[in-house]
Amino acid sequence: MLLVKKFGGTSVGNTDKIKNVAAKIAKEYKAGNDCIVVLSAMDQSTDELLTLAHEINMDPPTREIDALLSTGEQVSVALMCMALDALSVPSVSLNAFQVSMHSTGNHTNARLKKIDTERIRHELDGRRVVVVTGFQGVDSYNDVTTIGRGGSDTTAVALAAALHADACEIYTDVDGVYTADPRIVPNAKKLNEITYDEMLELASIGAQVLHNRSVDLAKKYGVTLVVRDSHKDVEGTFVKEVCKMESMLVSGVAADKNTCCLTLCGVPDMPGYEYRIFDLLSSNSIPVDAILHTAAVNDTIDISICVSRDCAPRAEALLKDNAANLKIKEVSVDNHVAKISIVGAGIQSNPGVATKMFEALFNSNINIKMTYTSEIRITVLIDEIDMEKAVRAIHEKLLGE
Amino acid sequence: MLLVKKFGGTSVGNTDKIKNVAAKIAKEYKAGNDCIVVLSAMDQSTDELLTLAHEINMDPPTREIDALLSTGEQVSVALMCMALDALSVPSVSLNAFQVSMHSTGNHTNARLKKIDTERIRHELDGRRVVVVTGFQGVDSYNDVTTIGRGGSDTTAVALAAALHADACEIYTDVDGVYTADPRIVPNAKKLNEITYDEMLELASIGAQVLHNRSVDLAKKYGVTLVVRDSHKDVEGTFVKEVCKMESMLVSGVAADKNTCCLTLCGVPDMPGYEYRIFDLLSSNSIPVDAILHTAAVNDTIDISICVSRDCAPRAEALLKDNAANLKIKEVSVDNHVAKISIVGAGIQSNPGVATKMFEALFNSNINIKMTYTSEIRITVLIDEIDMEKAVRAIHEKLLGE
């Protein structure tokens, strides 16, 4: 089997942890598997480098930020190969130049375009573990780039796709994807498998196990993802196209407090106003998470949108400053809300699921402020204070047995 | 003018020092000159990286040592470009991959083979300061190498040669090359210029301003070297092919305590024995600095050799273990010696120089244990205890006026 294994910054945060990861890899190698290991920079190292940078220049050129930060992963991969050598496992470290890992040129937020596989294949053929720097690429000018948030996960998935690996294992602090946050729902169950689409919905609503970008890429290329615990040797959660879950309508309940609801009242019920409102927000780089508008009453409509809390003050100011121009009568803000979502491939074909969710909330006397759905997700907006109670009630109703 | 400027690890040891160097470069750039800057890793960073490596593996693979250590210069160059940006000087950092800086593949001790100039020329044409990582290369397998001792000086000279720079300035802790060590001879004078050959002789006998390897390369390609002070803005010492020094027979007096004299007594005066003795030493990687043997007495000769003090115990043990085989009657060791050398292009054509040197030693009642010469150098071996007195006496006699 050819396996891609990704370990994040906390998993390689000091030399003892690096030795532990090396032992894990050695075991896999000695079982006869081919391994590509993708590493992040050692925990702290990125922050230390940025501190140096900001002592010199508060707004450094992004090209040089990338040149600076990319050294972090290069340190991790070299040290990992030394640890593997100490365990008599032959290995070779490769950075983005050596692979080569072609990316676009937008520094600090590049996208991977193409991965050359020749060097990696050559090393694998020589029965060496290949240890690759995550998070970085090289653009068409031969300049180092970094690929932004979720970077190393994305590197791992891209490598698995390019080399047709049997699986891409993402090692993290938890041992898999759960039906709910175990800190809120103590009897939450670990899922053995989940579809890409379900994982995407769970990721975007705050499960924070895998970055959406890497799940998206895995879906596109059919890469089997596995979320595994970097400390314990237990089975993780498989993320793949088709799962045997006929019996399971709902795969998880997720909650997210990082949201704020803005309601724009009295917008004219005429073409063009919605376009102008959302153009204003997007041209100011404010991502909008949910959009709802009611049917027209007296030729005006109300539009509710959800944005993340850090963007909310900017969104509010923008909309109020442009209210006259956009013909918005009033902008009201509700900061104390939370999103609760249920996700599951079975939701689409089972209308009873929504009913059960609403019933659970009703039984707990929790008011629903807003509802919106996708084919495999139902999300409600409720008072922030009711968040944990709501998650427990819904989990008990739909996943409790 | 196109200038290559090299700054060592102490010159870029912290962010304030990096800003100081940036200010120096900015001044040169704003005066209209094109600049290529070569940097070492920040002081301490190499040691810190090696400490991490040795926590993991006491004998790490050299390929991975190079991959690890090469990140040090990458950090320096990125930070320097950030500092130049803060001074509104456009710049670009380039590592060994980006240049490309082709080297042989012997890790930790590679030799530069060829430097591509296209990328650097392109950046210079765009009026950007080019900041290049010293000390590293890339081998024919696209693996990072480091080029061993004196590495960054050598990188700087190689770049100056490849790009036909007007000068290669080596910034260091002293403001130039002196006629003697100013700590020993307070009235030692700074030399305005010195030939490559003189510098080579001075470097090898302990002046320690420039590494021999970089002087050798500068001589080969006719690169004008300048030794300058990284803290003060004063003229340095030019190292070049021809100097206007008709009036100056001797350019310097140097002393070196890192030597040990071994004398092999009673070796047969027959072909083959010397060969076998030096083959034994060289095959055990013991460099021999000086070899003298006396004329034969009773069909045997005495051979004296000088080796560095750290090699002396090994050399002694080897020779004693093989004494019977090599027909050496006795091995005697003198550890308390020092080498004193005078260097100057005028020595060859002025036999009186040697006489003056011996006269100075005689007047100070210093015994000479051994004498050996090159075309531009006279070296004597004396008691270690007389070293400083000898340097002062010779300097006074030959360079004192």
DSSP states of B280-305: HHHHTT----EEEEPPPBTTEEEEEE
pLDDT of residue B247: 52
The domain B2-172: what is its CATH number?
Answer: 3.40.1160.10
Model confidence at A246: pLDDT above 60: no
> Which residues of chain B does A15 touch, with a Cβ-Cβ cutoff of 8 Å?
52, 55-56
What number is the average pLDDT over the span B51-70? 97
Sheet containing A101-103: which strands, arranged edge to edge? A112-115, A101-103, A136-138, A144-146
What number is the average pLDDT over the span B101-120? 95
What number is the average pLDDT over the span B322-335? 91
Residue B53: closest CA among chain A residues belongs to which residue? Answer: A79
Q: Does B368 touch chain A (CB under 8 A)?
A: no
Using DSSP's 3-state secondary structure scheme, residue A17 falls into helix
**Cα B42 to Cα B77: distance, rounded to the nearest angstrom:** 10
**Cα A226 to Cα A5: distance, rounded to the nearest angstrom:** 9
**What is the Cα B186 distance to its own chain's centre?**
23
ipTM: 0.83
Q: Quote the mean pLDDT of chain A.
A: 91
Model confidence at A90: pLDDT above 60: yes
Instruction: Return the bridge partners of A291, or none.
Output: A305
**Cα B382 to Cα B40: distance, rounded to the nearest angstrom:** 37
pTM: 0.85
Q: Does A67 touch chain B (CB under 8 A)?
A: yes
pLDDT of residue B204: 61
Percent of chain B with pLDDT over 70: 97
No. of helices (H) and no. of strands (E), chain A: 13, 20
pLDDT of residue B319: 93
Choose the closest CB to B85 out of A15, A60, A82.
Answer: A60
Q: Quote the mean pLDDT of chain B.
A: 91
What are the tokens at B284? 């055990």
What number is the average pLDDT over the span B158-162? 97
Choose the closest CB to A64 out of B78, B98, B142.
Answer: B78
Question: pLDDT confidence of B237, banded at 50, 70, 90?
Answer: very high
> Which residues of chain A does B97 touch, with a Cβ-Cβ cutoff of 8 Å?
97, 142
pLDDT of residue B262: 93
**Cα A274 to Cα A272: distance, rounded to the nearest angstrom:** 6
Model confidence at A2: pLDDT above 90: yes
Residue A52: closest CA among chain B residues belongs to which residue? Answer: B15
Place of tokens 């990458």: B74
Task: Mark yes or no for CB contact B64/A55 under 8 Å.
Answer: no
Task: Mark yes or no for CB contact A74/B71 under 8 Å.
Answer: yes
Contact A158, A115 (CB under 8 A): yes
- Residue B355: what residue type? T
| Helical pair B45-56 and A15-30, crossing angle rounded to 10 deg | 50
What number is the average pLDDT over the span A53-69? 97
Residue among B57, B59, B65, B144 with most chain A CBs within 10 A, to mutate: B57
- From A387's Cα to the closest Cα of chain B, the distance in A is 45
What number is the average pLDDT over the span B386-396? 94
> Which residues of chain A does B63 touch, with a Cβ-Cβ cutoff of 8 Å?
81, 92-93
Percent of chain B with pLDDT over 90: 64
- From B53's Cα to the closest Cα of chain A, the distance in A is 6
What number is the average pLDDT over the span B55-78? 97
Model confidence at A316: pLDDT above 60: yes
Model confidence at B245: pLDDT above 60: no
> Which residues of chain B does A93 touch, with a Cβ-Cβ cutoff of 8 Å?
63-64, 67
Residue A14: closest CA among chain B residues belongs to which residue? Answer: B52
End-to-end CA distance of chain B: 37
